[in-house]
Amino acid sequence: MDIHEYQAKEILSGFGVEVPPGALAYSPEQAAYRAREIGGDRWIVKAQVHAGGRGKAGGVKMCEDDHAIQKACEDMFGQKLVTHQTGPEGKGIYRVYVEGAVPIEHEFYLGFVMDRSSQRVMIVASAEGGMEIEEISAEKPDSIVRSTVEPAVGLQEFQAREIAFALGVEAGLVSQMVRTLMGCYRAFSELDATMVEINPLVVTGDDRIIALDAKMTFDDNALFRHPQVAELRDKSQEDPRESRAADRGLSYVGLDGNIGCIVNGAGLAMATMDTIMLAGGQPANFLDIGGGATPERVAKAFRLVMSDKNVQAVLVNIFAGINRCDWVAEGVVQALKEVQVDVPVIVRLAGTNVEEGQKILAKSGLPIIRANTLMEAAERAVGAWRNDLSQATRMRAVT
């Protein structure tokens, strides 16, 4: 789960990371009022969206008076911010963060991520902040400092000092850098985060180390332990299909294809998508309905898949272990009677009670295309989609 910059800064501030004074606003007038509350003679107005690259896309504006602040907000509110991370559909801007400007002497990059190869938290830092880490890696790879944290003891102060020295931090600022590193690590570990990123982390003209921007991502599976973090979720920044799926206990990721997938098990879902592509099609989604493939759960999955207008065929691929194929077949039949599905449906069942499941599908009287293997199911799904597509083309030609 991602959160907004202002939320990440509030969290990190609680762990000892210094941030500039700032306030949230939901209208141009409120933004101007917030600036007066903050004080000073220059302010930064930042669109609050779940994406990087906001500055290049016009989502970050420097303002020197109330008129400029209101103009910047009027240009942002209600618009879609399109960056290299959002894709062409962009992210809606419904709130902005007004922050007092600070004099910048130097910029650093600082990130905490999970490194799968070492199975450790890795700290990635660079003395070349202010740009994306991908750009830093490509243009100035020698500037990157990496350090892994031993989970048994956590980040130690001597390790934080080594990172500060490697970044070339001045001696008088090392203690501040250590405090920042230790605070970020504590936030990362205590709140089950999967990423903490500060870019840029700056040294100001009055010798302070301040986080000018902040991002945090959290492990969805650990949110039950942190209700205060779960409350920060902003559904307006999420794919509505994925949001609906999460609310119903389903794992769903929307894709750009046209063959919908309903599968139990993440590994089988990945294999199903690969096989569809091998057969010449494109999957429309990743959908794992989990181990409890009850009729109600299958019906929810069908509704979710059919909410995507691009879906032109549905492939159901269930391997029944703890489940039983006859239960799943009953669920598919019930779902097709309850949910309006006007595209070809291909069902492949395997595992416990598969014969009984096949009989239920055959006796249902529904136009279900059955398959025995995954490859056969994928080929029939792609074939059914192409057949419907060619029929639609012929109908348009006739009319």
**Catalytic (active site) residue 109:** yes
Q: Which of 109, 128, 242, 379 is catalytic?
A: 109
365 is in an annotated binding site: no
pTM of the predicted protein model: 0.76
What pLDDT is recorded for position 213? 93
What are 265's strand-pairing partners?
none
What pLDDT is recorded for position 393? 41
The residue ranking higher by pLDDT, 258 or 134, is 258
Confidence of residue 396 (pLDDT cuts 50, 70, 90): very low
What pLDDT is recorded for position 121? 95
Q: What is the pLDDT of residues 348-365, one digit of tens each?
A: 999 888 899 899 999 988
87 is in an annotated binding site: no
Q: What is the pLDDT of residues 80-137, one digit of tens each?
A: 888 877 778 788 899 999 999 999 999 999 999 999 888 999 999 999 887 777 788 8
Is 206's pLDDT higher than 60? Answer: yes
What pLDDT is recorded for position 382? 93
Structural domains of the chain, ranges and CATH numbers in brackets:
21-100 (3.30.1490.20), 104-231 (3.30.470.20), 240-397 (3.40.50.261)
39 is in an annotated binding site: no
258 is in an annotated binding site: no
Q: What is the pLDDT of residues 6-16, one digit of tens each?
A: 999 999 999 99
Q: What is the DSSP string of 331-389?
A: HHHHHHHHS---S-EEEEEEETTHHHHHHHHHHT-S-EEEESSHHHHHHHHHHHHHHHH
Is 247's pLDDT higher than 80? Answer: no
Q: Which of 6, 97, 128, 197 is catalytic?
A: 197
Backbone angles phi, psi at 248, to 5 degrees: -105, 10
Selection from 38, 24, 21, 31 nearest residue 68 by Cα: 31
What pLDDT is recorded for position 237? 78
46 is in an annotated binding site: yes
What are 100's strand-pairing partners?
43
Q: Which helix (H) or strand (E) holds 247?
A: helix 240-247
244 is in an annotated binding site: no
Q: What is the pLDDT of residues 211-232, one digit of tens each?
A: 999 999 999 889 999 999 999 9
Per-residue DSSP letter, 86: T
Strand, helix or coil for residue 151: coil
What pLDDT is recorded for position 397? 37
Average pLDDT of the residues of the chain: 88
What pLDDT is recorded for position 197? 96
What pLDDT is recorded for position 292? 61
Confidence of residue 37 (pLDDT cuts 50, 70, 90): very high
**Catalytic (active site) residue 26:** no
- CB count within 10 Å of CB 94 equals 15
Contact yes or no for 308/277 (Cβ under 8 A): no
Torsion of CA 325, 331, 337, 339, to 10 degrees: -120
317 is in an annotated binding site: no
Backbone angles phi, psi at 105, to 5 degrees: -100, -35
What pLDDT is recorded for position 248? 66
User: Environment class of residue 322 by beta-carbon count within 10 Å: exposed (0-12), middle (13-18) or buried (19+)?
Assistant: exposed
Q: Which of 152-156, 164-168, 391-395 bottoms out in mean pLDDT, i.e. has the lowest?
A: 391-395
55 is in an annotated binding site: yes
Residues of the chain with pLDDT > 70: what percent?
A: 93
* Amino acid in position 140: K
What pLDDT is recorded for position 130? 74
Q: What is the pLDDT of residues 289-321, one digit of tens each?
A: 876 666 777 888 888 888 888 899 999 998 877
User: Environment class of residue 67 by beta-carbon count within 10 Å: exposed (0-12), middle (13-18) or buried (19+)?
Assistant: exposed
Selection from 96, 114, 123 nearest residue 24 by Cα: 96
Contact yes or no for 301/264 (Cβ under 8 A): no
Residues of the chain with pLDDT > 90: what percent?
A: 57
324 is in an annotated binding site: no
What pLDDT is recorded for position 66? 92
213 is in an annotated binding site: yes
238: its two tokens: 């999420």
Q: Which of 104-118, 200-214, 238-252 bottoms out in mean pLDDT, i.e. has the lowest?
A: 238-252
Selection from 318, 378, 373 nearest residue 351 by Cα: 318
